Amino acid sequence: MADLKLDQIRKSYGAVDVLHGIDLDVKDGEFVVFVGPSGCGKSTLLRIIAGLEDITGGDLMIDGEVVNTKSPRDRGIAMVFQSYALYPHMTVYKNMAFGLKLDKQDKAAIDARVREAARILQLDQLLDRRPSELSGGQRQRVAIGRAIVRQPKVFLFDEPLSNLDAALRVQTRIEIAKLHQDLKSTIIYVTHDQVEAMTLADKIVVMNGGNVEQVGSPMQLYHHPETRFVAGFIGSPAMNFTKVTIDAVGQGQATVSVPGGMKSVLPFNVDQADIGKQVELGIRPEHLGLGDEGALTVSGVVDVVEKLGDSTYLYLKLANGDRVTVRAPGHSRVKIGETVTASAPAGAAHLFNDKGKAYQKVDCPAEFSAEE
Amino acid sequence: MSFANIRREDASRAVIVHAILLTYTLVALYPIFLVVINAFKTRKGIFRDPMGLPNAETFSLEGFTKVLAKSNFELFFYNSFTVTIVTIVIVLLLAAMAAWALSEYKFPGNTALALYLAIGIMVPIRLGSVSILNLIVDMGLVNTLTALVLVYVAQGLPLAIFILTEFMHQIPKDLKEAARCDGVGEFKIFFAIILPLIRPAVATVAVFTMIPIWNDLWFPLILAPGDGKQTITLGVQQFIGQYVTDWNAVLASLSLAIIPILILYLIFSRQLIRGLTSGAVK
């Protein structure tokens, strides 16, 4: 198990810059998830860590040692691919043993390791089958097993659940979480699904356009997004955004107004210089409750109703054309076409300046904070 | 339209297609059939009734006895066989490795090299016969099987490399990367993972390579006509004289010559069909 350090990692394909200087520290035993939209560079970064791509600039250190020029096998990593990448002409047993045989380990030791991994992943009955005779979930477990037997310093997962159906995804996700608890290994996991990121990670790295937007624990990212992008990316359904103008600034508070609508006083530290600027206000659907008791109120006509059983999502269209999502209780009887009023406490709000950076919230209430 | 009508249309179309295919099959097989049945007849029987099957009167094994007992037929067989097998092995090994290098590794001149090797398909090797003969004479390899092997390898490599490169491209990139992450060396990746996966292509190349070699009269005649080094094709020639042709012997030797190639083809053919139709590797 090992530490990982990325120091100003840059990657270019010819004239195209894909990664613009990534800094990251991964502690031994941490489960780090790289998450972001397609094309943000997360898979490229993973492949750079694996040694499958060259580094254009910067240093990569595993356990304190610079490994930029080392081949994948010498870095002590093991990778699980999105497409499983199992050797089709070999049995499950041979697939898992293949890498070990080359290290010239003795047969009994190899056998012991393969069987132990098979036991952990419940593959004991499948050792003599070929990949073509396995289901998707079983193949993925074999791919994980192949990585486990190598006892690597760092596990790398490249969107391993993307090819599985929804139910299997949840099941395998739990198995991966349990695996991390059992093996206590350093894991780096890439996904575009923020639910996987939130549920599995010790630390999430949100990436966008080749840059790191924010690094933090799932709760930190949820409650304290530092940029408008992170706020809109984490959480499903996504946060509601609306443009507001800063009318006045006070001590630890700012007065904002929605165009053509009400004013609200929100607990943020805002610079005097930002008075009159148009900024963005964000509220999560789950923080908006039906009724008008909160400091921030919206009122609109219901466009779409999504009933999920445990909750109901109401998609409102406001008078000024904005769209707002509200999470109502599962038993809600609101119908399409009804006018609904929803409100949220001031402490649930997020404010982002014209460059997308979050204003600092003052006196954040406990239920909207990541502090333990 | 009722179901019965549709089925009838499909059925009649199927009958026509089958009829055409059967006709072509017969046309293709008939000459071979003639050769084989006439090999079992007396000389008179051949000329009196060339199309008929051998009956009690015309049945004779004199062609075979002449070929097997009176001429050095086993040697011809052996020479053809040796040249063919050695060539296939060398061509497959070199072409597979070249195809792997061209499709997998990025290096300056990759495209130019691939093009240069592909040009070999377009240029008929027989145009250079005179130069080849001079070269072989200079190397002191006249009348050796080695000369034939060298020439046939040169002849077979371009197409083999071309076909195998296409198959190599179809192997999923993830497999090779997984192997590299597993710590597998490049040679081991090639022999233990890549080659087994392109087996249909290898069989295809083997068949396309061996048939022209087995049937070739040109290069054995030019480069290795000497005693003891003759191939089957040359062996058959000796029965065709300027004035008189010993037809029994010719037909008998041709019938015998079909057998090894037929066996080799049957061995490779199951893989061949898969190679021609599917193309998919996984």
How far is residue A111's CA from residue A107's CA, in Å, rounded to a whole number? 6
| Best mutation target, A53, A102, A158, to test chain B (most B CBs within 10 A) | A102
On the question of pLDDT at B277 being above 60, the answer is no
On the question of pLDDT at A93 being above 80, the answer is yes
Is B85 near chain A, with CB under 8 Å? Answer: no
Q: What pLDDT score does A2 carry? A: 82
Contact B181 A89 (CB under 8 A): no
B104 and B214, same structural domain?
yes
What residues have CB less than 8 Å from A160, skipping those under 6 apart?
Answer: A80, A81, A82, A140, A143, A144, A172, A176, A189
Q: Give B192's contacts in chain A (Cβ within 8 Å).
A: 98
Residue B249 lies in a domain: yes
Which residue in B253, B230, B228 sits closest to B240, CA to CA? Answer: B253
B133 and B18, same structural domain?
no
Residue B56 lies in a domain: no
Contact B197 A88 (CB under 8 A): yes
Side-chain-side CA neighbours of A193 within 13 Å: the count stands at 16
Strands A57-62 and A4-13 come out as antiparallel
Q: Give A207's pLDDT tier (boundaries 50, 70, 90).
A: very high
Is B282 near chain A, with CB under 8 Å? Answer: yes
Residue B282 lies in a domain: no
Give me the domain span that covers residue B8.
Answer: 3-48
Of A73-82, A173-182, A196-205, A290-299, which gets the smallest average pLDDT? Answer: A290-299
Contact B182 A98 (CB under 8 A): yes
Q: Give A83's contacts in chain B (Cβ within 8 Å).
A: 172, 174
What length does chain B have?
282
Q: What pLDDT score does B3 carry? A: 60
B89 and B211, same structural domain?
yes
Nearest CA in chain A to B195: A89
B244 and B104, same structural domain?
yes
Nearest CA to CA, how far is A31 from chain B (Å)? 20
Count how many domains chain B has: 2
B247 and B159, same structural domain?
yes
Contact B185 A102 (CB under 8 A): yes
pLDDT digit string, tens, across residues A149-186 = 888 889 999 999 988 888 888 988 998 999 899 888 89
- Which architecture characterizes domain A237-362 according to CATH? Beta Barrel (2.40)
Is B181 near chain A, with CB under 8 Å? Answer: yes
On the question of pLDDT at B1 being above 80, the answer is no
Contact B183 A79 (CB under 8 A): no
On the question of pLDDT at A11 being above 60, the answer is yes
Contact A73 B172 (CB under 8 A): no
Q: What pLDDT score does B280 carry? A: 38
Identify the CATH number of the domain in which residue B198 sits: 1.10.3720.10
Residue B59 lies in a domain: no
Q: In terms of C-beta density within 10 A (0-12 exposed, 13-18 middle, 19 or more buried), how is residue B28 classed?
A: exposed
The b/e string for B120-153 (b: 16+ C-beta within 10 A; e otherwise) is beeeebeeeeeebbeebeeeebbebbbbbbbbbb
- Which architecture characterizes domain A4-231 according to CATH? 3-Layer(aba) Sandwich (3.40)
How many pairs of residues across A and B have Cβ atoms under 8 Å apart? 59
Contact A81 B174 (CB under 8 A): yes
pLDDT digit string, tens, across residues B231-275 = 888 888 878 877 778 888 888 888 888 888 888 888 887 766 665
B262 and B164, same structural domain?
yes
Contact B182 A73 (CB under 8 A): yes
Which residue in A343, A251, A341, A224 sits closest to A288, CA to CA? Answer: A343
| Percent of chain A clearing pLDDT 90 (strictly above) | 48
On the question of pLDDT at A346 being above 80, the answer is yes
B99 and B17, same structural domain?
no
Which residue in A9, A172, A184, A182 sits closest to A80, CA to CA? Answer: A172
pLDDT digit string, tens, across residues B94-133 = 999 999 999 888 888 888 988 888 888 888 899 999 999 9
Is B185 near chain A, with CB under 8 Å? Answer: yes
Rounded to an integer, the average pLDDT of A348-352 is 91
Nearest CA in chain A to B185: A102
Q: What pLDDT score does B68 carry? A: 82
Q: Give A87's contacts in chain B (Cβ within 8 Å).
A: 175, 178-179, 193
Q: Give A99's contacts in chain B (Cβ within 8 Å).
A: 182-184
CATH 3.40.50.300 residue ranges for chain A: 4-231
pLDDT digit string, tens, across residues B59-77 = 888 888 888 887 788 888 8
Q: What pLDDT score does A14 carry? A: 87
Side-chain-side CA neighbours of B162 within 13 Å: the count stands at 15
How far is residue A3's CA from residue A317's CA, in Å, rounded to a whole number? 49
How far is residue A300's CA from residue A114's CA, in Å, rounded to a whole number? 60
Rounded to an integer, the average pLDDT of A97-120 is 81
Q: What pLDDT score does A104 carry? A: 61
Q: Give B193's contacts in chain A (Cβ within 8 Å).
A: 87
B116 and B75, same structural domain?
yes
Q: Within the 233-292 window of chain A, which residues sit less than 8 Å (CB to CB) from chain B?
A: none
Greater pLDDT, B185 or A80 = A80
Of A116-120, B17-21, B42-46, which gets the smallest average pLDDT? Answer: B42-46
Q: Give B282's contacts in chain A (Cβ within 8 Å).
A: 88
Contact A73 B175 (CB under 8 A): no
On the question of pLDDT at A334 being above 70, the answer is yes
Q: What pLDDT score does A102 carry? A: 57
According to DSSP, residue B58 is labeled T
According to DSSP, residue A131 is labeled G
Is A75 near chain B, with CB under 8 Å? Answer: no
Contact A9, A20 (CB under 8 A): no
Residue B53 lies in a domain: no
CATH 2.40.50.140 residue ranges for chain A: 237-362
Residue B192 lies in a domain: yes
Contact B183 A87 (CB under 8 A): no
Average pLDDT across chain A, whole number: 89
B243 and B152, same structural domain?
yes
How far is residue A335's CA from residue A333's CA, in Å, rounded to a whole number? 6
Nearest CA to CA, how far is A184 from chain B (Å)? 21
pLDDT digit string, tens, across residues B172-222 = 888 888 888 887 888 888 888 888 888 888 888 998 899 899 989 999 999
Contact B184 A102 (CB under 8 A): yes
On the question of pLDDT at B278 being above 60, the answer is no
B241 and B155, same structural domain?
yes
